[in-house]
């Protein structure tokens, strides 16, 4: 069923008869459908977050249930060829990157946030399902790239994009010791991607927007998802231990920078690289 939907979404014939408000409505509808389909893994994962009771199910703690569910969905997507082995390897890298960051952030000397519930799958205080939250972002970008027929114009040299992504990741660790340089890194990313545009096809015509806008918008929706997750007690920030409160808006900037880093990893997939234009 999903494969049939994908074939339909990626083989839409030209419809020159669509004009004006009707074209806008059709393109907006198909854009929404493609975005929802690209969020398949993230949507199923967060649906499990909402539905799984805090006490767990069948005697299995909640964090462990979420890990088993995420693994099952990942295997199913690979088996049904909704993801390729190369894409799974990239998602595996997100797991490693995410786990290292999580282990550091929940450590005794840092304690930026915590996972309050018990679980058999906790390592260094981090439940292993948490890596799938980072993988969900990568999975979304990979799926959206295919479904929206994305092409990138005026992408900066890979080595320079990789360096900025590495510095962004390092700052998540080092700002506890030598100061927070996120706004300097954001300024670097702003200059680096200022000419970069993403070309996408919501229906039968190409549309274009600045890639930087895509980073900001994706970061915003992740911030919304983070608010929902903390509301359900999946993890908690120190100021949420007594009672839940909205996650600080400053986290939006952190997520937007994380999207820059995730995009850089995805951009190095072989079948995606051919759709990226790097000027001479």
pLDDT digits (tens, 9 = 90+) for 56-92: 888 899 999 999 999 998 888 888 888 888 888 888 8
Q: How confident is the model at residue 20 (pLDDT cuts 50, 70, 90)?
A: confident
Percent of the chain with pLDDT over 70: 99
pLDDT digits (tens, 9 = 90+) for 249-273: 888 888 899 999 999 988 888 778 8
pLDDT digits (tens, 9 = 90+) for 86-110: 888 888 888 888 889 989 988 888 8
Token output for 12: 């839409």
- Select from 145, 184, 173 the least CA-distant residue to 265: 145
Residue 216: its pLDDT value, please?
A: 93
- Residue that the structure tokens 């995730």 belong to: 262
pLDDT digits (tens, 9 = 90+) for 136-158: 888 888 899 999 999 999 999 99
Residues 256 and 219 sit within 8 Å (Cβ to Cβ):
yes
Q: How confident is the model at residue 280 (pLDDT cuts 50, 70, 90)?
A: low
Question: CA angle 209-31-138, nearest 5°?
Answer: 75
Per-residue CA distances from 267 to 34, 166, 206, 216, 273 (Å): 20, 14, 20, 18, 6
Query: What's this model's pTM, rounded to 2 decimal places?
Result: 0.86
Average pLDDT, the chain: 87
Is residue 127 predicted with pLDDT exceeding 70? yes
């Amino acid at each position: 069923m999903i494969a049939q939907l994908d074939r339909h979404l990626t083989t839409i014939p030209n419809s020159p008869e669509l004009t004006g408000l009707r074209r806008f409505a059709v393109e907006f509808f198909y854009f929404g459908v493609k975005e929802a389909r690209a969020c398949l893994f993230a949507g199923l994962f967060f649906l499990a977050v909402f539905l799984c009771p805090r006490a767990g199910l069948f005697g299995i703690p909640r964090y462990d249930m979420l890990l088993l569910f995420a693994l099952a969905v990942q295997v199913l997507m690979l088996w049904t060829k909704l993801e390729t082995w190369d894409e799974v390897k990239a998602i595996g890298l997100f797991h490693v990157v995410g786990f290292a960051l999580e282990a550091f952030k929940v450590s005794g000397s840092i304690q930026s946030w915590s996972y309050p519930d018990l679980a058999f799958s906790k390592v260094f205080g981090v439940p292993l399902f948490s890596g799938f939250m980072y993988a969900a972002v990568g999975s979304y970008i990979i799926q959206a790239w295919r479904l929206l027929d994305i092409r990138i114009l005026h992408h900066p040299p890979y080595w320079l994009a990789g360096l900025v992504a590495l510095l962004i990741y390092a700052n998540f660790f080092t700002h506890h010791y030598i100061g927070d340089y996120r706004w300097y890194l954001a300024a670097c990313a702003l200059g680096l991607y200022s000419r970069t545009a993403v070309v996408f096809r919501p229906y039968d015509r190409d549309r274009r927007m600045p890639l930087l806008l895509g980073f900001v918008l994706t970061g915003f929706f992740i911030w919304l998802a983070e608010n929902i997750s903390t509301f359900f007690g999946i993890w908690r920030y120190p100021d949420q231990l007594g009672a839940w409160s909205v996650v600080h808006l400053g986290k939006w900037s952190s997520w937007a920078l994380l999207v820059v880093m995730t995009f850089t990893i995805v951009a190095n997939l072989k079948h995606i690289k051919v759709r990226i234009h790097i000027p001479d």
